[in-house]
Amino acid sequence: MKTIALSLVIGALSLPALGGLQKAKKSAPDWRIAGWEVTTCCCNDICPCRFNEKPTHMECEGIMAIHIDKGHYGSTNLSDVNFIVTGRSFDDAGKGWNRIYFDKKASTAEQKAVGGIMASMASSYKPDVAKKVFGEESRGVKVIPMTFTKSPNGLVREIKAPGVCDVRARIGKVPTSKKPTQITGVLTEFSPVYHPAAGIKATADKDVGFDHPEHHRAEVEDFVLTRDAYLSRKIGFQSYTGRGGCLMPSKTK
């Protein structure tokens, strides 16, 4: 059975079987990325998964738009790289799926490096968990133009990828507070802290293939993420599995 990690590895990297994922985890080069990402999905606000509740539509169609400010995968520099992951996960009625879009400015080496990071992340989960989180079917990779914009005060993040998605998320901030609203103690894909967003505009185009293309919730994560953080269970995924609330952490062995 093939899983997600598989679909996110690009170019010369093929889609290995589940056993290959664990081998990839052990042999992956050291990596570190720092930047920000916006996640949107078709659920009602706030994300039910983060609080061990059922997804609104009993599957999660989501967009993860990631901007890397600085980073590396082995010897490959990943500064100023953009990519978008779309997919349907926790799909009890089907196998789920995923698709990755790269900024046309990203080089082939950068694309392969990001694929290696995503494979490393996916392989830190048990195979059955990886299939739930990322979906089993790969719908391929596409290179497109995209822009990522962050306002001077950091509160507004925008992603424009013509033909794929148009996202705008404004982080909530209490006027008397020096910092924006944040939620801690919940496992997410990139950071143990995230900012719930308001003023959301998030639409997926037909190319993506969502059943629910209008998204009404978003969260923003400013992250510093390393290979060791995944392998040491400092990052994971919290969700509803259909059998009750369940925390699904990374696998270390």
Q: Please, what sign has the CA dihedral across residues 5, 38, 168, 146?
A: negative
Contact 120, 26 (CB under 8 A): no
Residue 239 lies in a domain: no
Distance CA 52, CA 253 (A): 25
pLDDT digits (tens, 9 = 90+) for 85-116: 998 887 777 778 889 999 999 999 999 999 99
Contact 171, 205 (CB under 8 A): no
Residue 180 lies in a domain: yes
pLDDT digits (tens, 9 = 90+) for 173-195: 888 888 888 887 776 777 777 88
Residue 69 lies in a domain: yes
Residue 252 lies in a domain: no
Residue 62 lies in a domain: yes
pLDDT digits (tens, 9 = 90+) for 190-235: 777 788 887 778 888 887 888 878 887 788 999 998 888 777 766 6
The candidate with the shortest Cα–Cα distance to 235, out of 105, 133, 132, is 133
Residue 83 lies in a domain: yes
Provide the domain count of the chain. Answer: 1
Residue 240 lies in a domain: no
Name the residue range of residue 125's domain: 4-232
Residue 64 lies in a domain: yes
Q: What is the pLDDT of residue 13?
A: 31
- Whether 161 shows a pLDDT value over 80: the answer reads yes
Please state the three-class secondary structure of 133-193 as a single string: HHCCEEEEEEEECCEEEECCCCCEEEEEECCCEEEEEEECCCCCCCCCCCEECCCCCCCCE
Q: What is the pLDDT of residue 227?
A: 86
